[in-house]
């Protein structure tokens, strides 16, 4: 027979503490009839109560700022800027000069051959000058007959890295001598001085044919003083088709590879 426990007196009962008045006054939160709701995240909209499936995002390929396309664009702009400047030999407006130098600096900052003297095959062969900051102005131009009597042709440079030799050939034509064509040839030797610099020494020079030598004989030293390479040259940019250099006198040289071979 089960034993019946007598009721516990009310004075001995332990009752839970009532909720705060604030909590008691807050009405229960009811869900809208449209539950489940949608919420927006970085991955899109989802229903509440449903966990989105995680995904791995693959980075999209981006163009490299040092890529060929970027270099090609800069080189195109540079060639456009060089149109009509006649290699800069007789001077150009300061704004044009600044534009060219700005594009040169862009190319130099993206040089694909940062250690050119360790890859001399990049500079070996024949190159044609397309721009230089060396100028022939005023009385120098008059003395050399370069205003009306003598016209300048191509400036070619052939580099033989195996022998450490460089041959510069400057072509002329003399209008007063029935457009006689001739060349000034300057031979120099070079040796590696650093990863990007070579030391250059003048060896010898000549003008052919003899008739043209007679024209320049009086001012031959002046001519050599302008065109003779001497000192050091920093190769600041080189690829398969273009080379840029700066010498110890602050001059800039831009050359493109020539298909003429040995001048």
Q: What is the largest CA-CA distance in the chain?
A: 148
The C-alpha torsion from 105 through 106 and 111 to 115, rounded to 10°, is 20
Share of the chain above pLDDT 70, in %: 71
- pLDDT band of residue 58 (cuts 50, 70, 90) is very low
What does the alpha-carbon distance between residue 172 and residue 184 come to, in Å, rounded to a whole number? 8
Question: What is the rounded average pLDDT of the residues 119-130?
Answer: 96
What does the alpha-carbon distance between residue 236 and residue 7 come to, in Å, rounded to a whole number? 103
Q: What sign for the dihedral angle of Cα 134, 138, 142, 147?
A: positive
What does the alpha-carbon distance between residue 241 and residue 123 come to, in Å, rounded to a whole number? 10
Q: Helix, strand or coil for residue 173? A: strand
Residue 235 zone, left/alpha/beta (φ > 0; ψ -120 to 50; rest): beta
Q: What confidence tens digit (pLDDT) does each residue in 198-244 have?
A: 999 999 999 999 888 888 889 999 999 999 988 999 999 999 999 99
Q: What sign for the dihedral angle of Cα 58, 61, 62, 66?
A: positive
Residue 125 zone, left/alpha/beta (φ > 0; ψ -120 to 50; rest): left
What does the alpha-carbon distance between residue 3 and residue 179 come to, in Å, rounded to a whole number? 140
> Where is pLDDT greater, at 24 or 181?
181
- pLDDT band of residue 253 (cuts 50, 70, 90) is very high
Say if domain 69-257 classifies as CATH 2.40.128.280: yes
What is the domain partition of the chain in residue ranges?
Answer: 69-257
Res 248: pLDDT: 94
What does the alpha-carbon distance between residue 34 and residue 208 come to, in Å, rounded to a whole number? 98
Taking alpha carbons only, the member of 227, 229, 169, 223 closest to residue 203 is: 229
Q: Report cis status (omega within 30 of 0) of the bond before 28.
A: no
Confidence check: pLDDT of 2 > 70: no
Res 65: pLDDT: 47
């Amino acid at each position: 027979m089960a034993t019946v426990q007598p009721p516990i007196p009310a004075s001995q009962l332990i009752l839970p503490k009532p909720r705060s008045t604030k909590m008691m006054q807050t009405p229960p939160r009811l869900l809208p009839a449209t539950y489940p709701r949608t919420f927006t995240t970085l991955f899109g909209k989802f229903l509440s109560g449903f966990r989105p499936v995680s995904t791995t995002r693959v980075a999209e390929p981006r163009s490299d700022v040092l890529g060929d396309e970027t270099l090609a664009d800069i080189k195109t702009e540079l060639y456009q800027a060089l149109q009509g400047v006649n290699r800069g030999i007789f001077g150009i407006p300061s704004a044009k000069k600044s534009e060219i130098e700005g594009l040169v600096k862009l190319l130099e900052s993206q040089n694909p051959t940062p250690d050119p003297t360790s890859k001399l095959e990049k500079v070996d062969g024949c190159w044609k000058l397309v721009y230089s900051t060396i100028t022939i102005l005023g009385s120098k131009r008059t003395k050399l007959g370069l205003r009306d009597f003598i016209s300048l042709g191509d400036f070619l440079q052939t580099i033989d890295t195996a022998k450490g030799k460089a041959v510069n050939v400057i072509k002329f034509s003399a209008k007063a001598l029935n457009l006689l064509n001739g060349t000034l040839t300057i031979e120099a030797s070079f040796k590696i001085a650093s990863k990007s610099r070579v030391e250059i020494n003048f060896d010898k020079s000549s003008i052919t044919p003899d008739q043209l030598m007679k024209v320049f004989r009086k001012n031959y030293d002046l001519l050599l003083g302008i065109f003779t390479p001497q000192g050091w040259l920093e190769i600041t940019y080189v690829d398969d088709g273009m080379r840029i250099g700066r010498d110890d006198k602050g001059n800039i040289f831009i050359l493109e590879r020539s298909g003429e071979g040995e001048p």
